[in-house]
Structure formats: structure tokens, C-alpha cells
Amino acid sequence: MTELIATCSRTLYAIRTLKAHGLIGDALHTVFKATVQARLLYCAPAWSGYCIAADRDRLESFLRRSKRLGYCDVDTQSVVEQFQLADETLFERVLNDDRLVFHSLLPPRTEYSYNLRRRRHDYELIPKTRTLNIYNFIMCMLYKNSY
């Protein structure tokens, strides 16, 4: 996490230079999204589950500083919301596209003989056994979207 924030801070220096040379407004926000925000969200579904609260706070602090300096739009979602959106997007793709590698990691489907409210998925929920199993992307998303 320290390396990620340091790399993004170095990129902010480049954005500061662009701002000093006259890049303002939406163009500056686009550069921020294409460089810094893309780096923060790169593979976020794979590692965001392992972030502790202190790491999330550091990322939120970095994003607040970027907003204060005018590098990103003030209504940019929080880092946690961006992580959740990235998780949801990837999970939807995994559920709907059987050609993805992650699709083979899904547990078997469950057949119900009764008619209850519709769930987001009809996959069998595997019992959580170890902490590694709890932070697994597929397991986390199956449990989160089962209600």
C-alpha cells in the first residue's frame, strides 16, 4: 500500500506540472482518472479485500488531498465505493460470461423446489472455514450477494 500511494504521489507531481502549464478543469480531471485513479483501481477486486482500515484511510486521505488540490472532480466516489463498484462489475461479468477463468471457480448451482424471492445468484454457498477463504473474491461476493 505504501508503494502504491508513493507511486500515485509521484504522478500527482506530474499533474501539478500540467496544471502549472495551463491544463485546467475537465482535462485535468481526465488525466487524473487515466493515471492515478486507474492505478488505484488496477486489480482492486484481487487485493482490496486484504486492505485493513488503516490502508483504506490512507487511500481516502490521498483522494481528499487530490480533490482539495483540484486534480480530481469533487464528486468523485470514495475509494471504498470505487472498490465495491469494481467488485460488483467483475462479479457480474463472472456470473454472465462462462468463458472467463473465474467462472470455473464458482461452486455448483443449487436447485430449489420452492419459490422464494429471487437472489442475485443461484450458486451453492460453501461454508467459510479459514480466514483466507473469507477474503477470497468469489466467496466474498457470493456471500455478499446472497441476500
Least confident residue range of 69-73, 88-92, 131-135: 131-135
Full residue range of the structural domain in which residue 42 is found: 2-83
Q: How far apart are CA 5 and CA 60, in angstroms?
A: 11
The verdict on residue 95 lying in a domain is no
Residue 75 lies in a domain: yes
Largest interatomic CA distance in the chain: 66
C-alpha cell at 63: 483522494
The whole-angstrom separation of Cα 41 and Cα 93 is 17
pTM (two decimals): 0.74
Q: How many domains does the chain contain in total? A: 1
40 domain-assigned: yes
pLDDT tens-digit profile of 31-89? 999 999 999 999 888 888 788 999 999 999 999 999 999 999 999 999 999 998 998 89
* 54 part of a folded domain: yes
Are 5 and 58 spatial neighbours (Cβ–Cβ below 8 Å)? yes
The answer to the question of residue 48 being in a domain is: yes
Give 143 or 98, the one with higher predicted confidence.
98
Count CA within 13 A, CB hemisphere, residue 100.
Answer: 13
Instruction: Judge whether 99 lies within some domain.
Output: no
Instruction: Identify each DSSP E strand in 33-117 by its residue range.
Output: none
